[in-house]
Each structure stands twice: as C-alpha cells, then as structure tokens.
A and B are shown apart, each in its own frame.
Chain A
C-alpha cells in the first residue's frame, strides 16, 4: 500500500518538474526573479542561458535578452539596467569574465539597489576553452558573494535567490557553474510563481554611490569591506552550507563544494551514512561550520571541481590540528575535470570492475571543420599566398577556425584570447618580422578586433588581417553576430584602413586561386591591409533555410 503511494507521489514529482540544463535552470531562476534584461556573449559552456531567455522573449516579449559585442559591453548594459532600478542578468564563460573584469570588479563598489547577477560558467577539463580558471577566485577578488550550485534544482534556486541577496547586500552576486552542470539535464521544480518586474527607480544619490571618483570610491570600498562581516554571517546560516557530524568517526571527514558533492554521494552505498560531511555552496564559506568539523575530526578530504580554493582556505599556512587532503596533496589531480572515478580513488575505494579488451587501440577522432566549410577554402588560399616566404607568422584567434591549427590545414600558429591575433601580428611586425598575418572570424573581430586594428592603423603596421566572415558565431551554435557582416568593411574603413587595401573575396572552392592572389598582393603591400573572406557558415545556412521553410 505505502509502496504504491510512494510510487504515485514520485510520478507526480517527476511529471510536474521541468527538465532543464543547468544553464536553463539558471535562466528560469532569473526569470522567476523578475529580471527585465539579460546580456551576454556566446561562449561554451554558457551559451544556453541567454538562448533560453531569448526563446522566452520571442514568445512573451519579455525580458530583453541580447547578445552583445563582448562580455564587457554586456556587463555595462546590465549595470545600466540596475542603475535605473530593474533586475538584470549577465552571463558568460569563465574567460569572458576576464574581458568584463573592469566593470565587474568596479561594480562591487556601486550601491546596487536592483539585483545584478553575473553567471560565470567555468570549464574544468577545457572541453571548449583555452584555460580552466576558476571564477570563484574572481568573486573573492571583487569581494562579492558567490553561489555554487551542485545540481539543476540548486541552479534554479540560487539564481532566483541571488537577486534578493544582491539587493540585500548592495553587491553584485555571482553564480558559478561548471561545464558538467551547465550541460546536464535534470528535473527542476520551479516552486512559487514568478516575481513581477521592478519599476524604474534611479538610485537616490548616484553622485555618492555610482560615481567612482577616488573620494567616493574610498567610502564605497569601506562599505564593501564592512559588508564582508554580513556576508560571512549570512553564509553561516545559509541552507546551502550543510554540516553533518558522524559521532562514530572522529578520524576523517569530507568537505565538498558544488558538484563535488554529487561524485562523493555517488560513491557512498548509503548517502545518509558515511563520515562527517560539510558541503559548501556559498563563498564566503561558512567558517564556523568549518571549525566545528575541524574540532570533530583529524583529517578531511576536500572535493571541488576547479581550483583548490576551499582546500587552500582550510589548509592555510600555519600548522593546525587538521590535516587537509585534496588536489595539492595529490589525492586528486590538480588539473582537469573532476569525475566520480577520481573521487572514488581519493576515497580509497577499489575501482569498479569494468570491461576492457586488452590491446585495443583506436585512432582519435578530433573535432574538425565541417565538409564544405568556407574556412577550408580560406586556409587553402592562405597556404598558397604564403608560398615562397622562408618564414611566415600566422597569429589566429578563437572560433571554429581555430581548428585550422590541426592537420590537414596546420594554417595557424597561435590562439590566445579574443582579438589577440591582430595585436600579436602588429607586435611581430614592430619587431621586424614579415610577413605577419592575423586570422580571425567576423564575430571575434567585432568582439575584440577593432581596438587592436586601431593600433595597427595608427602605426601603419606592415601586416595583413584576414577576417573569415561566415556571418555568424559558428562554434557556439550559429548565434547572430552583433552587427551584420555587411558592416565589417565600413568598420575597417572607419578606423582608417585605406580603401584600396581593404578587399573582399569569396570564400568558395572555385575562388581559391583568386583569393590567394588578393591575399598575396596585400601581404606584399608594405603597410596595414585587411582581406575579408566571405561565405555564410553551412550550419547557419541550414538553420536559416529551415526557419524560412517552416513545417513540411
């Protein structure tokens, strides 16, 4: 009887839940918090946050949900929304927060009176990124509150609550996700109904809270520092930080943060049993609970995805009675994504029996440019244009076209950060190297290529910029670029590249020779030149055709 009842209530639970990616859960949480606007720049693993809100905006007309030129401009637009009293979300991948770091760090010093939440999606394991930096460090750097969900439900709950917390502490609040949660689906119960949007309300005295002149910034900084006490006190009481002490085991305990908890619980036969366990979902961490645990056990294993932040806080530099194990002691690897298997090993449990064929060796299958991709033709032309030079430099950037570094193309030699290609080619040219070529996509150019191009124009640097203009943000799923491709030539001319050295070519298989000829002419030109290779991305073409075609 009772079993049947349980099954029915289970059924009810799962059917009333919405199945969402971690990213979508964050977006829905923000919607339920009554946001008026959301901004971002596409970047794996964060893209689906804004896409979810855009789909909602297409259906309901609200909220404003827009891709921006880059993460900095996105953050600044969000600041404008909250300055006039409405709630705003800004989402980005971890390295995007570096781009937005200037407004991000300074925004802590503003008197935030309408909730401002920044979602930063970290990528431990570098599935789709050039580093695995941990955004929790940046939250601490800015001295703001950071919430780290362990599952999709918490992603929703934390995103929703983050707006209230932002207003309560007059600080922006960060929600930190990792790839594995951002891109995993599970049932989420949205709970109470969505809050209404706020009404317009400017800060009472913007001259004293939003104008960071040194004298004002000093006062605001003191306020931020005073608020730290309140944040710590709040963290102590937060239900997202839980401590369970096991009276039977005074020897060993577990500390988890974020999704580290999932991998730990997965390795327990009975999740209700096991040694003493402190779970941390907020930064600042609950120091009192840490001390309670430290008094109870002699050693702890810290399980967190990303940098060993909690681990380092707990260990400190002075001798304490507590032994802290984790990434810095080699119990878990210092790099890469956390997995249940790594946690299992750290817990000293025997590995699960698995299936293996001895001697089996399979060739890898790395990602590659699509068959028929316009970048293939551009790289073929670039190869030909560079023939005959004893040495060449091709600095490139971040996007699908970065795959041109792999065989069979091996056409590019660097990928550092958005827009770096142009600045680096200029530097190489300044150093006396020729030919120096910069390769980047249209969206990368709009994101961070215009400012270094100004430097190159100012110096009339002897270099060539090849803009691979496929009319979309390809790698992240063909989002619209902030301005249409047609404008790129106008921008290039606008910053002062001579019209005769700003050339447009067709990136298609029949035009490789013509493209190569134009590229070679511009590479031979002693001064700044820009070649725009144009053809729409095939994925984007497919999507546009499907949208136009409608249902069969």
Chain B
C-alpha cells in the first residue's frame, strides 16, 4: 500500500500542522512516512506546499512525483488548483473554499470553484464555517483533516486518537473542540463518493 498527499495553502494557514497531524495518524497506523515541508522565505504569505507520503513499504523520495498524488488537500481554493498537476488520474481533491486574497488581483472566485467542481473527485468544504461551529476558527485545519478522512488509508478512530494526543496539553475543552471539528469536517464529505483504501 502506498498513499501520497499534496498539501497546499498559503504561508501562515497551518499547512504544516495538517501535514503533521495526518503524518502522526499514519505512523499510528504502522506506515512508513515521509513528510516534506517548506520553511523560510516562502512561509511569509506565499504559496506553501507540503508533501506527505505513507506506505506499507519504505518510502524513498521525500517528494511526491507529478501525477503521483492520491489526494490534493487544499487549505485555499487557488492553491489547491495550482498543484493539480501532482494529482494522479484517479486522485481526489479536498479543499477549503474560503479564499485568501493577499495578492494583487484575486481571480473570480466562482470561476475557481467552478473549475474545482468540474473535477471528477473533488470535495469542496466550507471549512471556515464548520470551524466556527466547532467552537473556534483555529480548528479549520482539523476540519480539513476530518474532511479528508474518508479518503485517507487510516481508520478515523486512529485520527481521533492522534488529535486527542496532539491537543492534550491544551486541556480537555480544546481536545473536545477539535474532535468536534474533525467530525464536522468528516460529515461534510459524502462517504459514498470518497472511498479510500484502508489499513
């Protein structure tokens, strides 16, 4: 088994937190994992890309090849679309719909969302709204992990354990809020359309 993810967003959005949550879940599942991040200059509000690869056999390359990603997980619609060439022919795209407009001219949002919807396995998530319903806009990253969870080859229970552990130091209330965020994200994606491998 091998599962490759491209995580895309804008510097400061928490792409690395999403990557490390999913990676921790994958490790709990007994997979070999490689997770490649961007540090330094690019983190200052620019496009940010992280590669996450997991498999039952050792992962060699730290980078997902073009056309190799089973999943593009976007924190921002343009950034999800930007990294489409990484997606494999049968791959899925899960993205938050809220735009980050820190550029000279942001393209027409409806056009961007329309392009995303035209893809065969695309799941658009109103993650910002769900995060607020969970209790804090800060949980938006966990909402996206939940939204992607139908596709990931990791049991949702393992991901919940991972979230519990990741937020344990911040108290039970924060843990519960993030578990709510995870479940809201998970419910936002229709499971029948998003069946992934399981291990």
Interface residues of A (CB under 8 A from B): 7, 10-11, 14-15, 19, 21, 44-45, 47-48, 127-128, 180-181, 183-187, 259, 261-263, 265-266, 271, 339-341, 344, 351-357, 360, 362-371, 400, 403, 407, 475-477, 551-552
Contact = CB atoms under 8 A, between A and B. Distances in A.
A363 B108 CA distance: 12
Would you list the 5 A-B pairs with minimal beta carbon distance, nearest first?
A: A354-B67, A44-B40, A352-B67, A128-B40, A367-B46
B44 interface: yes
A357 B115 contact: yes
Contact of A362 (B82, B89, B91): B82
Contact of B34 (A45, A184, A354): A184
A66 to B, nearest CB: 21
A477 B60 contact: no
A187 B42 CA distance: 25
Contact of B42 (A128, A186, A357, A476): A128
Q: Which of B27, B42, B47, B62 has the most CB of A within 10 A?
A: B62
B88 A354 contact: yes
Interface in B51-93: 51, 56, 59-63, 65-68, 78-79, 81-82, 84-89, 91
Contact of B63 (A10, A339, A477): A339
Interface residues of B, number: 59
B63 A370 contact: no
Given A351-B66, A356-B84, A45 B89 contact: no
29 contacts: A11-B30, A15-B30, A19-B23, A19-B24, A127-B38, A128-B39, A183-B38, A185-B33, A185-B36, A186-B32, A259-B62, A262-B60, A340-B61, A340-B68, A351-B66, A354-B85, A354-B88, A355-B67, A362-B81, A365-B78, A365-B79, A365-B102, A367-B41, A368-B44, A368-B102, A369-B44, A407-B104, A475-B41, A477-B39
Nearest to A181: B62
Nearest to A354: B67
B43 interface: yes
Given A262-B62, A352-B68, A7 B30 contact: yes
B196 interface: no
Contacts of A180: 36, 62-63
A100 to B, nearest CB: 20
A354 B86 contact: yes
A547 to B, nearest CB: 15
